[in-house]
Amino acid sequence: MLCSALLVGTPAFVQAAPPLDTDDADVAVKDTFEIYAGYDYEAAGGTITRQVPTIELDYGLIDRVELSLEVSYLSAEGAMGFGDMAVATKWVVFEEKKTLPAIAVEGEWKLHNGSVSRKLGTGRFDYEFLIPVQKTWGKFTGMVNFGLDFIGDPRINGVTEHRNNVWFVGFAQRYKVNDKTRVLSEVYVQHADEPGTPNQFAANVGFEREISHGLELQMTMGRSLRESAIGGPDLHVYVGLHGTFDAPWKKTKKDGK
């Protein structure tokens, strides 16, 4: 999910690499970096939030395990600055087989380094656990997520405010149009972290387009599917780049090692 655990009414979950909120069951190859950098715009509840940029850096630590760092520079309600950072790890428990899907588990720790008074951070630690499931049939790949986010109670202006833990269920698809282009879509439901506010029911559509070796352009657009978009986006747009490159210390077959 795009980095969005903010005080401005955006979703609590931040686990997925852009451009979708629903995560896949893939990880970065061992000793390889993947970087996602883009512009994220969201209008929700009368507030506009821009992340310029939002960045996620993934590193393949060992086979089937990656580490991630997420950080965003925000513009919201006239304030600008860094939002809450997050660190995560994902492990592919079962690799995809001919008749069985890939299954991964993911854990994330969201910090509270963003300014609460300027509405750039939540003022709390969050702990998220996610299970991405993925299966490919020819050009079509289906993805399902089941997640739970344990939300801390923030202290705002000296007062501790209660927050609900958040569950998340997402369904997404990726269709390979040709060797360079894939179209994307998803629908997800997310429990509201603030008591008394409606759950979020939203959708996104978009594409990924390879523009050179190891570099692709990504874009998605979506909105709430509820009549009232309170707690969910009236409009959500992401445009960014996804790059892949080897770590300087990666051993290759050419090295003879």
Mean pLDDT score, 60-68: 98
Distance CA 153, CA 122 (A): 9
- For 27, 36, 167, 214, the CA distances from 217, given in Å and listed in that order, are 19, 10, 30, 11
Q: Indicate if the pLDDT at residue 244 is higher than 90.
A: yes
Distance CA 117, CA 109 (A): 22
Domain spans in the chain, listed from the N-terminal domain onward: 32-255
Q: Indicate if the pLDDT at residue 92 is higher than 90.
A: yes
Mean pLDDT score, 127-150: 97
Q: Kindly report the length of the chain.
A: 257
Q: Which residue has the tokens 């899907």?
A: 101
Task: Give the lowest-confidence range in 2-16, 62-76, 143-157.
Answer: 2-16
Task: Say if residues 120 and 136 touch (Cβ distance below 8 Å).
Answer: no
Burial class (CB in 10 A: 0-12, 13-18, 19+), 227: exposed
Mean pLDDT score, 50-62: 97
pLDDT tens readout for residues 98-131: 999 999 999 999 999 998 888 888 888 999 999 9
HSE toward the beta carbon, residue 194, CA cutoff 13 A: 14
Q: Indicate if the pLDDT at residue 160 is higher than 90.
A: no
Q: Which CATH number is 32-255 given? A: 2.40.160.40
Nearest Cα neighbor of 85 from 114, 49, 59 is 114
pLDDT at residue number 255: 53
Q: How far apart are the first and last CA of the chain?
A: 37
User: Which of the four pLDDT bands, split at 50, 70 and 90, describes residue 13?
Assistant: low
* 3-class DSSP state of 176: strand
pLDDT tens readout for residues 191-230: 988 888 888 999 999 999 999 999 999 999 999 998 654 5
User: Which of the four pLDDT bands, split at 50, 70 and 90, describes residue 17?
Assistant: confident
